[in-house]
């Protein structure tokens, strides 16, 4: 076993143990604060070790050689000093106005930056990682100053801890340990911290208003630029593959400032649900007019992504909001009629729809090979049914199932189906933990939403967003790799613990409209 493999395995073990200590109740005789601090320290150690395993030894040697130069060493020290100064100023601003952290969080959530790490290139959530670091500094200083109490436990701490710890531990037997380290370093570990930060910092500011309004306000120019791209057939940023595909496809798909049209579609889907939820709580004509105009622009932006998974997710989210607002009977009746009309119209108007509905081969082509990916994932699971092939192993193992000719021209990274990915990479054990976590989260948020009023409506809206993301992840994947999943879940559970966060736009003097509980 090489030194890199040893470092990587030690990092995975430390990270898994850290998650358990960070999320689970402390053992007898140990304070919760000490247990969580120790867990956070172990997670940090695991993160450093796993990150170090991703950087080749030659890169470390080149870095050390660079620092041997006095000029470069001085530049590095100056850079660290500048970053520290900016962090100090940002911390002061957030301590003075805690809501600023949630505004920064909403601004950072969608943006990815191209980064080279060793021999690998990736689009990473660099701005979000900086916001998470700022949140940790804010939380630590407020705790030391005695202005912030211990964050409340949530109903999903136990299933979340067991699922994430098992997923991280599966790095030890992963068929692609480098990809496992990437997922642990850039997704699971920082997002567990993000989830707890949302819960811990929620009482310090008008967090829900900040997240909702900022998301809608940011989504409007994003959607407008997407429409501009479509209208002008202008250059596609970040994604050369998409730009090339548009040359040969009869659809010109756009991505605005995102890497993938489907990720843009998911973002606009969530922003539209937020806009509808805010509008329901307002009687102010100016607010309703502004939200209506924003919804038109965002819908146009979603349309030109041609993201069918985003449209399905939006439909489910709107159906759940209607269920809460108007009751089950009217929602099912109207929804059933609309679905029937849409289905009849689609069958009558399009020969492609009729062929897709009657031919599995055609349906697989329309879905861009999704059925083949699912079949490959199930084949991987049958080879390792108990514990799976390990975190990040789907792409490597799927290529092994392909004939040599196909293997040369297909580069598979994900299954485009989160449940299949979890099943193939973590086996029946991880999949069972995944199901328990999903059910526990849905039940906890649904029960909390029964309080009614703005808090109940806000929790139900967040549950609708989670359901929309879940539908999108069945056709596109990226459920746990999407920070919105963790923020939305943390926000809903934080409202359930506090029941005092405001929602949406300013409320009129006679109070907001409230939806009937169902």
Reply yes or no on whether the pLDDT at 223 is more than 90.
yes
Instruction: Pick the more confident residue, 87 or 423.
Output: 423
**Helical (H) or strand (E) element with 115:** strand 113-117
Q: How far is CA 104 from CA 81, 90, 222, 469, in A?
A: 22, 10, 17, 22
How far apart CA 405 and CA 312 sit, in angstroms, is 35
Task: Confirm whether 106 is domain-assigned.
Answer: no
Q: How far is CA 490 from CA 18, 108, 138, 163, 324, in A?
A: 19, 17, 18, 16, 21
Task: State the pLDDT confidence band at 518, using cuts at 50, 70 and 90.
Answer: very low
pLDDT in tens, 275-330: 999 999 988 999 999 999 999 999 999 999 989 899 999 999 999 999 999 988 88
**Helical (H) or strand (E) element with 223:** helix 207-232
Task: Confirm whether 376 is domain-assigned.
Answer: no
Least confident of 2-11, 325-334, 348-357, 375-384: 348-357
Reply yes or no on whether the pLDDT at 251 is more than 90.
no
pLDDT in tens, 349-363: 556 555 555 555 555
Task: Confirm whether 288 is domain-assigned.
Answer: yes
How far apart CA 226 and CA 300 sit, in angstroms, is 9
Task: State the pLDDT confidence band at 108, using cuts at 50, 70 and 90.
Answer: very high
pLDDT of res. 371: 73
pLDDT of res. 72: 72
Task: Confirm whether 227 is domain-assigned.
Answer: yes
Reply yes or no on whether the pLDDT at 21 is more than 50.
yes
The domain in which residue 233 lies consists of: 206-306
pLDDT of res. 500: 40
Taking residues 238-267, report their average pLDDT. Answer: 84
Task: Confirm whether 512 is domain-assigned.
Answer: no
Let me know: does 398 contact 381? Beta carbons within 8 Å.
no
pLDDT of res. 287: 93
Instruction: Pick the more confident residue, 372 or 126.
Output: 126
pLDDT of res. 100: 94
Task: Confirm whether 118 is domain-assigned.
Answer: no
Task: Confirm whether 286 is domain-assigned.
Answer: yes
Total count of domains within the chain: 1
pTM: 0.88
Ranges of beta strands (E only) in 143-264 are none
Task: Confirm whether 171 is domain-assigned.
Answer: no
Q: Which residues pair with 120 in a beta bridge?
A: 117
């Amino acid at each position: 076993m090489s030194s890199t493999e040893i470092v990587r395995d030690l990092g995975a073990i430390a990270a898994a143990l850290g998650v358990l200590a960070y999320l689970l109740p402390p053992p007898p005789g140990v304070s919760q604060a000490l247990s969580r601090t120790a867990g956070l320290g172990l997670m940090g150690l695991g993160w450093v070790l796993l990150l170090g395993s991703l950087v080749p030894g030659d890169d470390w040697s080149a870095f050390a050689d660079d620092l041997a130069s006095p000029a470069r060493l001085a530049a590095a020290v100056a850079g660290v000093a500048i970053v520290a100064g900016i962090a100090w100023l940002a911390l002061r601003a957030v301590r003075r106005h805690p809501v600023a952290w949630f505004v920064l969080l909403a601004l950072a959530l969608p943006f990815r930056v191209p980064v080279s790490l060793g021999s690998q290139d990736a689009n990473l959530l660099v701005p979000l990682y900086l916001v998470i670091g700022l949140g940790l500094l804010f939380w630590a200083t407020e705790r030391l100053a005695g202005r912030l109490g211990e964050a409340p436990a949530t109903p999903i701490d136990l299933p979340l801890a067991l699922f994430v710890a098992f997923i991280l531990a599966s790095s030890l037997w992963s068929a692609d340990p480098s990809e496992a380290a990437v997922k642990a370093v850039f997704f699971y570990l920082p997002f567990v911290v993000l989830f707890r930060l949302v819960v811990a910092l929620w009482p310090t500011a008008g967090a829900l208003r900040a997240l909702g309004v900022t998301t809608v306000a940011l989504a409007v120019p994003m959607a407008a630029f997407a429409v501009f791209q479509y209208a002008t057939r202008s250059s596609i940023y970040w994604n050369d593959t998409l730009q090339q595909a548009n040359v040969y496809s009869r659809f010109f798909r756009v991505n605005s400032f995102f890497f993938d049209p489907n990720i843009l579609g998911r973002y606009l889907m969530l922003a539209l649900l937020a806009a509808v939820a805010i509008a329901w709580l307002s009687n102010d004509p100016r607010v309703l007019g502004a939200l209506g105009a924003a919804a038109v622009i965002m819908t146009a932006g979603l349309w030109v992504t041609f993201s069918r998974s985003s449209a399905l997710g939006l439909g489910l989210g709107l159906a759940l909001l209607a269920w809460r607002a108007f009751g089950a009977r009217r929602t099912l009746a109207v929804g059933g009629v609309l679905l029937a009309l849409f289905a009849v119209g689609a069958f009558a108007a399009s020969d492609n729809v009729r062929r897709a509905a009657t031919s599995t081969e055609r349906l697989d082509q329309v879905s861009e090979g999704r059925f083949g990916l699912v079949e490959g994932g199930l084949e991987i699971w049958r080879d390792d049914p108990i514990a799976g092939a390990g975190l990040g192993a789907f792409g490597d193992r799927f290529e092994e199932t392909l004939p040599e000719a196909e293997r040369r021209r297909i580069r598979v990274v994900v299954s485009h189906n989160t449940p299949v990915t979890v099943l193939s990479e973590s086996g029946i054990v991880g999949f069972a933990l995944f199901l328990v976590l999903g059910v526990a989260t849905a039940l906890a948020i649904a029960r909390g939403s029964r309080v009614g009023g703005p808090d109940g409506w806000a929790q139900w809206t967040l549950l609708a967003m989670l359901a929309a993301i879940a539908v999108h992840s069945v056709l596109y994947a990226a459920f746990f790799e999407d920070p919105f999943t963790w923020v939305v879940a943390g926000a809903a559970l934080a409202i359930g613990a506090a029941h005092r966060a405001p929602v949406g736009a300013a409320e009129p003097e006679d109070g907001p409209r409230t939806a009937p509980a169902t």
